Every structure is written in structure tokens, then in C-alpha cells.
Structure 1
Amino acid sequence: MNLDLLYREHIAELCVRHARALDNSGYDQLLIHAGAPGTAFMDDNDYPFRVNPHFKHWLPLLEHPYSVLVVAAGERPRLIYFQPEDYWHKPPEDPEGSWVEHFDVVLAKSKQDIVAALPSRLERTAYIGEQPQLLGDFAAAQVNPPRLIAELHFQRAYKTEYEIACLGCANVIAARGHKAARAAFLAGGTELDIHHAYLRGAGVLESELPYANIVAVNNHSSILHYHGADRSPMLPQDIHSLVIDAGAQFRGYASDITRSYAFHKGEYAELVQAVDQEQLALVDEIQIGMDFAELHWRGHLRMAHLLSRFELVRLEAADIVELGISRAFFPCGLGHFIGLQVHDVGGYLKAPDGEEFARDPKAPFLRLVRKVEPRQAFTVEPGIYFSDMLLEELARSDNSRHINWQKVNEFRGYGGVRVEDCVVVHDSGVENQSRDAFRALAGDGAR
């Protein structure tokens, strides 16, 4: 895999996409601002910097605030590279690496230098970012123009070969972290121990994660975005389950992997294995041309089969879905685009002009409904959760009579099960980058 060659092709593709989008939206050029760190209220400490995803689409520069990329049709992109003289913080290194040859680089030592290096006329210039006032006096229509943004977001669904390679590397890094986290859990570690083990295994700082790790032991797993970190050691007999949702990034591209583990043998361990098998079966069902929303409801049917098989609900699978019972146990969407952002953009865009698909009230948290096409990258993450809030709502409904409450209550202490992989669609089939990453860690039994 020659990343330098793939990056060259990636930049060529971005030049074509952005030139077309500028023309369609009526602009001559575009300023993409890396962004600026935010400062905590009434404090002098900045929040961790998160670069504008439109900026890192072009450049593997994640820690370069205030820098600006200038893009115009038919012209070589120009990077105003902010490199301040600073003894409080480590300034950016001199521009180096294979990316440099694709840009005209202008060094700026101060924010005044940045403004001075901008194009002289900005009337037909669009700005993408959060702080336009740092660069000039723009009309409201020039700042993040919806038509321009929509086309760029629509096209981001189609990954270049460079992007697919970066996503694969991000999955390998995350798999190393998951391997270490699993070992820490089975050794009886606390949620905080498991989180630290993940960071060590992945070899990353917490600020480098694409999203905050979800490390949920026992009934904490019922909270889909649990971000606690229990520090209290437990006796082995009190440890039941772990759901860990944790990713990594490579050159700004994210992975998003979830695994569930049982501490003891038993019915919960069987449920974990069953969800894992159904998740793999769902990945096998992915076909070019199908609506992702259809795959979502197939996921509900598969989870409903498990609800019936494990005698949690006394109905056939189709009836469990039809009556809406499956939504109480599987309330989230089946997946989302993955890329420059963990929940990458464009999942509801019908066309480059910004037209969107209608929302399904039965699936309010589904983030992706577009047809499956080659070069898309997305997650597949079915699950079964035992959420007190949702179960209480179910208990008050007419469907309560179909629920085996004794069995459900036995599972509440485990919280739930979720299995999530990152996949890429090719003309020749579906590449499961997460499973491939675990297989690359040979001999450890990781999945």
C-alpha cells in the first residue's frame, strides 16, 4: 500500500469535487479554516483543539489551529500555515512530508500574517469554519453556504482509496486497544483500569481519541453513551459484563468499534455470542443498491429473533417488530457513515443540492438511510439493551403482557449487548475492516 500515491490521487479528486461545488454554488474560491481552540469560561485554559473536518479532508494536519486552506478552480491549493514563535507551547514543525508537494505553502508567524496572505478580493469567496471574524468581514451568505456544504457532504460518502486505507489503519489501532481492554476486564479491572488499558494498547493520548470511550461494566451497559469511569474494585462474583465502544484515528480518519464480553459462562455469554453471529450475518446481507434503512429493519428482525429465542418476549420475531417491542430493546440506529467524523455527514442527503430523505418516526435515531453504494464506509452495530427507562415505558404499555418480565429482570444487571464493526463497500463485496484488524492481531483469539 503506497499511501503517498493514494494521497496524490485523493488530492486530485478533491480538486475536482470542490471546483464543481464552487461552480454550482456560485463562488470563485473557498477558504477552509482549520479552526481555533476554545477557552473555558472565565479561565485561561483552552479546550482540546478539534480541527475542522473540511480542513483535514485535504491535509493530515490535526494540530494546526488558525491555518487556512485556499481552494480555487484550476489553481493549485494554497495553505497559509500558521507557525507562531511561542515558548509557552510547542509550535508546529516546519512543513514537511509527502503532503507538502501538493500545496503552495505560505508561512505565517502571526494572525496578522494570516490575514495579509489571504486573497486580495473576497467578494465571491466562501468560508467554511467557525470563526470567520478572524479572517475578515464576510457577508452571512458567504459563511458555510448551505448549497456548497450540502454538495461537499454528499460527496464525502464516496471514499477515495487513500481514505479507505486510512480507515483501515484506524481500525488496526483500535483493535490493539480493544485487545488490551478485554484483558484488563477479564483480570477484574475497574472501568477506569479498562479505559487506561485501552489507551496503552492503542498507544494514544485521551485527547487523540475520535470520541470519548464508552467503557460500561454491568448495568452501565444499558446506557448507550455511558461516559462514567467507575474506580471501585469489585469481587469476581460481582462482575458480569462489559460493553466497550472505543475507536482510534489515523491521519484524521476514525474507527468506531464495539465489543461485548461476559465475565462468567452462562446465558448472558450465550446472548453475546448470538448477537455477534447476527451482526456478522447482517454484514453478509449488505448489497449494493439496497436502502440502509432496509438493513436497519433487518437488524430489528434479527434482534427480535433473539428476544424470542431467549424467551424474553413471548411472540414470533415478526410480531415483535410489528408491535414496536423491538424498539424498546434496540432503540438506536443500526449504523452511520464513518470517516473524517465518527458520525460522518450526509446520511440523509438525497442529492448534492441538499434535498433530504424524510425521517421515519419509528427510527428517530437512525443516522443513515441512503442507498448502499461502492466506496461507502459505515458501521453495523445491532444490540439488545435492558434500559430501565425504556423497560418501564414498555411495562406501562399494552405490550407488557407479551414480556417475560422474570427473564428480563434477570438480564437487567448485565445492561446489554452491542457489537459494532466498520465496513467498506466495494464493487466486489464488503470489506469488514474491524474484523480484519482483529485477525491481524494473530493468535490472541480476538474477534
Structure 2
Amino acid sequence: MNLDLLYREHIAELSARSARALENSGYDRLLIHAGAPRVPFLDDNSYPFRTNPHFKHWLPLLEHPYSVLVISAGDRPQLIYFQPRDYWHKPPTDPEGYWVEHFDIVLATSPEEISAALPADLERCAYIGENSQLLGGFRAEQINPPQLIAELHYRRVYKTDYEIECLRRANRSAARGHTAAREVFFDGGTELDIHHAYLGDAEVLECELPYANIVAVNQHGSILHYHGAERELLRSEDIHSLVIDAGAGYRGYASDITRSYAYRDGEYAELVEAVDAVQRALVDEVRIGVDFAELHWRAHLYLAELLSRFEFVHLEPEDIVAQGISRSFFPCGLGHFIGLQVHDVGGYLKSPGGEEYPRDPKAPFLRLVRKVEERQAFTIEPGIYFSDMLLEELAQGPDASRVNWRKVDEFRRYGGVRVEDCVVVHADGVENQSRDAFRATDGGKA
């Protein structure tokens, strides 16, 4: 796949989107600030730098703080490229690569030179970022104008071919890491060992991950965003399960993949296979025009069938969902947009003007409710969790007698099961980028 050609088309599309958004919001020009490193309280070592997603939408530059992108309708975009003279840190190299020819580049070695390179008239200029004070005196309404931001976020949902290829490559990197992590788990490694194996084969630094890896052995899998890392080796008989949720990035685009593994054969292994089958079935149901919120509730019905079949709950699946019991085992949303950010924007936007779909109080953590459309990229991630907190609430509720507590208690040691893939919607079908990546990486296993 020729990224140079795809990038050319990508820039043309972003230019058109920005020109339309500027006109609709009443601005002539847009300044997108890469951002600035943040320093912890009473410290002089900054946190790892994370660039403004609006900046990396245009440029594959992830370690270029203070740089500024100037977008004017009808003109070539201008990049004020910050390249300080510095012996404490490695400064950015000279601009090079496939992206350079698409920008008028001004080199700046100091904040003063950045300011000097800015347009002389900032009156009808919008600023996107969080460090406006570094660039001059903008009025409050010029800083992150809601109407402009809403339109850009609404359009960002529709991925260009360049973005789809970057997402594809991010999934391949993550799949390599997952394959190595799985091997270390079955070799009896600690959570920290598994995490390090992932980093090594994904070929990433920890600070380059799009989100902190979730490496959850045994009961830790019940914590949806577990970020511990046990160091002590467990005896083989004390190892039961692994839930690993780990992604990778490629030129600013993220992947987000989860796999669950049973350490030995048994009913938990059967549950893992069953949730995996549910996940595949849900991906098969993704079609253009399908309401994602309806797909979320379809997931609840599928998972409720498992809760009934495995005798966790003594009710019919429809009743398990209707009475809210399924939410105690699957409290999160089915998926979210993915792209420049792991939980990418626009999931509730109804129109470019910023109107939003209403929130469902029964699904407070669902991040995506729009209808499925061509060029959308999102995750599908059903799961069943044995969370002490949620089970305690269920035990105190009116449906406690419907739960097989002996069986539930047996499964607390496993934590839970989650299976997650990244998919992209095309006119002729759905591309499961995660499964494809595993097939390419793992000798045909998906």
C-alpha cells in the first residue's frame, strides 16, 4: 500500500473539511498547536508528551511540542516547525519524509521565532489546543470554538484510506505483542513478565502505547481498567486466567485489542470460547445502517444467553436483560470509535452542528450510539465480569434469588472474559483488522 499517495489524498480531504468548518463557524484561519509538555506538581521532569490529536490528524509528528499548524482556506497549510537548540534532550531532526512536500515549513528555534512566524492578523483566527497563552492574546471565543470543534469531530469519524492503512498497521503491531504475551502467560510468567513480552514484540516503548496495558491475571480480570503488574511468580496450580487489553500505535493512530485465556481446560475455557463466539457473531451483524446502540443491547441478549446456559442466572435470557441483571455482568459499552485516540470522538454527535443523541441512563458507559456508516472504525468488545462490587449490589437487590451464587463464587477467581477487535466498515463489508493481524502474525490463528 502506497502511503505517500494515500497521504496526498488524506491532506486534500482534511483541507476540504477544514475550509467548510471554518466557513460555517465564521473564521478565516485555524491554528492547531501541537501542545506543550506537562510537569507534575513541584517537579521538573515532565510527563511523557502527548500531541494534540488535531495536530497529528494532519501530520505524523508525535514528538514535536510547541510546533504550530496554520490552516487557511484555499492556501497550502503552513507548519511552524519547532527545532530548539538543546543539549538536554534530543531535538527534532530536520523535516523529512512523505509529508514534507504538502506544507510550507518555517523552522523556529525559540518561542520568539514561533511568535514571529505566526500570521500578523489573528482577529478571525480560531485556536485549537490547550496552550493559547504561548501564542498570543486570543479572545475566549477564539479558543476551541465549540461549533468548529463539533464539525471537525463529526467528520473525523469517516476515515480516509490513509487512516485505515495506519489503523491496519497499528493492529499488526499489537497482534505481535499479544502473541508474545500469550506465550509468556502459558509459560507461567508474572503480569510484569507478560507486559514486558508485549512491549518487546510490539516494538514499542511503554510511553508510546496509546493507553496503559491491562494485563490481568486471575481475579484481576474483573477490574475493567486494571493497571497493576504483579511481580511474584505464582505456582502453576494457582494460575487460572489472563485478560490482556493492549494496543499499539502507527503514525498517531491506535489499535485496541483484548484477548482472554484459560490456563487449563475446564468450564472457564468453555466460557472464553463462548464469549469469543458471541464477539464474532456481533461483528458479523455490523452492517451499514445498523444502530450501534441496538447492537449494544443485542450483545446483552447474547451474553444473557451465556449467563443462562452456564447456569449463572436461573432466568430466560430476555428476562435477564429486561430485569437489568445482565448489566451486573456486562457494565460497560459494546464499543467505541477508534482512530487518533483510543476512545475517539464523535460517538454521540448527531450532526456537524454539534447536536447530540440523548444518553440512555441504562447504558451510561456506552461511548457510541450513531448508526453504522461506511469508513467508520470502532471496536466490538463484549465481556462477562465477576466484579465483587457489582455482584454485591446484585446480591442486595430484588433479583438476588435468581443468581446461582455457588457457581458465581467459583468463577470469581477467573475475574472475567473480554474479547475485543477493531473493525472498519467498507461499502462491501466489514474488515476485522485485529483478526486479520493475528492471522498474518500468528500462523493463521485469529
Aligned CA-pair RMSD = 0.6
Give the structure 1 partner of residue 24 of structure 2: 24
In the TM superposition, residue 378 of structure 1 has moved relative to its aligned partner by 0.1
Secondary structure of residue in 2 paired with 1:389: helix
Give the structure 1 partner of residue 154 of structure 2: 154
CA distance in 2, matches of 1:281, 1:291: 16
Secondary structure of residue in 2 paired with 1:88: coil
Secondary structure of residue in 2 paired with 1:384: strand
Give the structure 2 partner of residue 133 of structure 1: 133
CA distance in 2, matches of 1:67, 1:441: 36
Give the structure 2 partner of residue 249 of structure 1: 249
CA distance in 2, matches of 1:279, 1:409: 25
Q: Does 1:144 align with 2:140?
A: no
CA distance in 2, matches of 1:47, 1:298: 41
Matched AA of 2:54: H
CA distance in 1, matches of 2:415, 2:10: 43
State, as a whole percentage, how many aligned pairs show the same letter.
Answer: 76
In the TM superposition, residue 442 of structure 1 has moved relative to its aligned partner by 4.3
Post-superposition Cα deviations, 1:120-175, rounded to whole Å, max 9, x if no partner, equal 00000000000000000000000000000000000010000000000000000000
CA distance in 1, matches of 2:278, 2:383: 10
Secondary structure of residue in 2 paired with 1:264: coil
Give the structure 1 partner of residue 113 of structure 2: 113
Give the structure 1 partner of residue 15 of structure 2: 15
CA distance in 2, matches of 1:341, 1:438: 22
In the TM superposition, residue 446 of structure 1 has moved relative to its aligned partner by 3.7
The 5-angstrom pairing of residues 165-314 of structure 1 reads 165-314=165-314
User: Structure 1 length normalisation: TM-score?
Assistant: 0.99
CA distance in 1, matches of 2:188, 2:445: 18
User: Structure 2 length normalisation: TM-score?
Assistant: 1.00
Secondary structure of residue in 2 paired with 1:413: helix
Maintained 8 Å contact 1:347/1:370:
yes
Post-superposition Cα deviations, 1:13-39, rounded to whole Å, max 9, x if no partner, equal 000000000000000000000000001
- Ranges of 4+ aligned residues in structure 1 off by more than 3 Å: none
CA distance in 1, matches of 2:102, 2:445: 40
Give the structure 2 partner of residue 339 of structure 1: 339
Secondary structure of residue in 1 paired with 2:431: strand
Secondary structure of residue in 1 paired with 2:99: helix
Maintained 8 Å contact 1:423/1:430:
yes
**How many aligned residue pairs are there?**
446
Give the structure 1 partner of residue 321 of structure 2: 321
Give the structure 1 partner of residue 89 of structure 2: 89
CA distance in 2, matches of 1:442, 1:328: 34
CA distance in 1, matches of 2:162, 2:302: 34
Maintained 8 Å contact 1:179/1:446:
no
Q: Does 1:401 align with 2:408?
A: no
Maintained 8 Å contact 2:334/2:380:
yes
Give the structure 2 partner of residue 420 of structure 1: 420
Matched AA of 2:75: E
CA distance in 1, matches of 2:40, 2:384: 38
Maintained 8 Å contact 1:339/1:377:
yes
CA distance in 2, matches of 1:446, 1:402: 38
Post-superposition Cα deviations, 1:349-406, rounded to whole Å, max 9, x if no partner, equal 0000100000000000000000000000000000000000000000000111110111
CA distance in 2, matches of 1:446, 1:198: 17
Secondary structure of residue in 2 paired with 1:417: strand
CA distance in 2, matches of 1:45, 1:437: 37
CA distance in 2, matches of 1:442, 1:297: 32
5+ residue gaps, structure 1:
none
Matched AA of 1:203: E
CA distance in 2, matches of 1:387, 1:89: 44
CA distance in 2, matches of 1:80, 1:391: 54
CA distance in 2, matches of 1:55, 1:26: 21
Matched AA of 1:22: L
CA distance in 2, matches of 1:185, 1:380: 24
Maintained 8 Å contact 2:179/2:442:
no
